[in-house]
Amino acid sequence: MSRKLRVLFLCTGNSCRSQMAEGWCRRLKADVIEAYSAGVDPHGLKPLAVKAMAEAGVDISAHQSKSVADLGGVEFDYIVTVCEAAHGACPTLPGRGVVVHVGFDDPPRLAATARSEAEAMPHYRRVRDEIRSFVETLPEELTSRAAARSA
């Protein structure tokens, strides 16, 4: 049996979207994917991201915001950038990792004017569900996007 694909979900702060993607991947695709997340400028896990994932039955409360350097030189098959800033600043990593961009809206930015947690949560839930839908297509979606890029 071949090894699992190593997939890094990369975002700016490793505080929300990349953490959600790692959580979903570990929950839904652990049999075929070894999931990681990191940020190009990590700045702490967002409590509302933890709450949104917990509502869906995925516990990411033990996750920590980390940089690519914190991953110890793991060689990735795919690096999935989940925000424009990370895509533009994606570092060169060891190995043959194929960079695939799949952008998602930024819940903290969308919720910036919310007057309460109740007003903020719909943004987190929507993005959480969009990320889940994407993760459900893995690994096939990654290979097709990589093939399209090289064509």
Catalytic residue among 7, 83, 86, 121: 83
The number of CA neighbours under 13 Å toward the Cβ of 147 is 6
Catalytic residue among 7, 10, 11, 60: 11
Quick check: is 90 catalytic? yes
Cβ atoms within 10 Å of 42's Cβ, excluding its own: 21
Quick check: is 25 catalytic? no
Catalytic residue among 56, 74, 90, 110: 90
Active-site amino acid positions: 11, 83, 90
